[in-house]
Amino acid sequence: MNRRGFLLLGSGLLLAGCVSGGSAVQLGPDGKPLPRVYRITPAVAGQIQYRLLDSVNTLRQAKGAQPLVFNASLNAAAETHSRDMSVQNRPWHFGSDGSSPLSRVQRAGYTGRLLGENISETYQTELETLSVWMESPDQRNVVLDPAARELGFAWYQEEGGKIWWTMVTGG
């Protein structure tokens, strides 16, 4: 192949790589791509908790920590807080009624010891959210705490797609 043919072929491949094969990326007012909405459908909803639990336990196993099991009271406390963060429209550890993570798990009937709580406001999947938690030392410590034996995990998705995630651990 001569030099001109090589350059034309290379230019064509370069341009082909720039063409979007699907929907165009939408940009926000700041010029950055807008988040893609992760829609939690009824078919997906039943799998989310178990995908997170499996992933958490894989991470814990790699660090020599015991696996976690779901606790219904911790799940209830996490669900309540996810909805409440949406009402407040801010991710933080205190409820609109002034409740703390400890008072919420006690109110939900948990008799064990609360060890930690991770929260998030995002449009991302549960596994992307877990990945972000693992990048923060404080949140990673909640996931990998060797004293933890039980897990509560829940979410609330608003109509616009924003998801409020809550993970609570106990021992």
What confidence tens digit (pLDDT) does each residue in 9-49 have? Answer: 444 434 334 434 445 777 888 887 776 778 888 889 989 99
Give the residue from 51, 83, 84, 43 showing the smallest Cα distance to 70. Answer: 51
Bridge partners of 30, per DSSP, are none
pLDDT tens for the chain, 171 residues: list them: 444 443 334 444 343 344 344 457 778 888 877 767 788 888 899 899 999 999 999 999 999 999 999 999 999 999 999 999 999 988 989 898 999 999 999 999 999 999 999 999 998 999 999 999 999 999 999 999 999 999 999 999 999 999 999 999 999
Q: What is the average pLDDT value for the chain, to the nearest integer? A: 87
> What global pTM score does this model have?
0.79
Q: Residues 120, 132: contact at Cβ < 8 Å?
A: yes
Close Cβ partners of 85 (under 8 Å, ≥ 6 residues apart): 91, 92, 119, 121, 156, 164, 166
